Amino acid sequence: MQKNRGFGIISSLLLLVMLAMMGTFMINLSGLLQQSGTNNELRSHAMRAAKTGIEYGAYQALTTTTCNTASGVTLATLNTLSNALSGFTVVVTCSASQHTEVGIATPYFVYTITSVATFGSFGDNNYATRQLEAKFTSDNII
């Protein structure tokens, strides 16, 4: 009977080490899942911030002549967005090209609005960016 005395201690230590390894794995997996959820939320907010920039750029293009005078004009850098979009920097650029249709005397503009929303710095865990581009025309074509 003396030969079997240390076997229970070795088995329990082995079981304890295996449980500790599984616990460490679960904690790491939980952290990765939480970070993934945070990144998904940031990307969603970045898309909303970029859409806000497109709407702002469209409004500026139609109500001012800033886009008509030069190509690639930076309309605004929006960094004072509120609520869920706070912390995002949105750069809105605009360019316009003038066109004339056969049979229509008044020329019209085709506007290209680009909006880039960014949160954080590239390489950070909480980095998100989205770029949208929209094209539309002034409403005096018809």
Question: How many structural domains are present in the chain?
Answer: 1
User: Which pLDDT score, from 0 to 100, does residue 131 have?
Assistant: 94
Question: In sequence order, what are the beta bridge partners of 133?
Answer: 114
**Stated pTM of the model:** 0.66
User: Which pLDDT score, from 0 to 100, does residue 63 have?
Assistant: 82
Q: Which H or E run includes 95?
A: strand 89-99
pLDDT greater than 60 at residue 1: no
The residue type of 135 is K
**Residue 48, in any domain of the structure:** yes
**Residue 33, in any domain of the structure:** yes
What is the extent of the structural domain holding 71?
2-137
Q: Per mean pLDDT, which range of 8-17, 72-81, 96-105, 117-126 is the poorest?
A: 72-81
Q: What is the pLDDT of residues 69-86, one digit of tens each?
A: 555 666 666 665 666 677
- Answer yes or no: are the C-beta atoms of 46 and 88 closer than 8 Å: yes
66 secondary structure, DSSP code: H
The 3-state DSSP class for residue 104 equals coil
Q: What is the pLDDT of residues 106-116, one digit of tens each?
A: 788 888 899 99
Q: Which H or E run includes 19?
A: helix 7-63
Tell me how far apart the alpha carbons of residues 83 and 85 are, in angstroms, rounded to a whole number.
6
**Residue 142, in any domain of the structure:** no
**Residue 64, in any domain of the structure:** yes
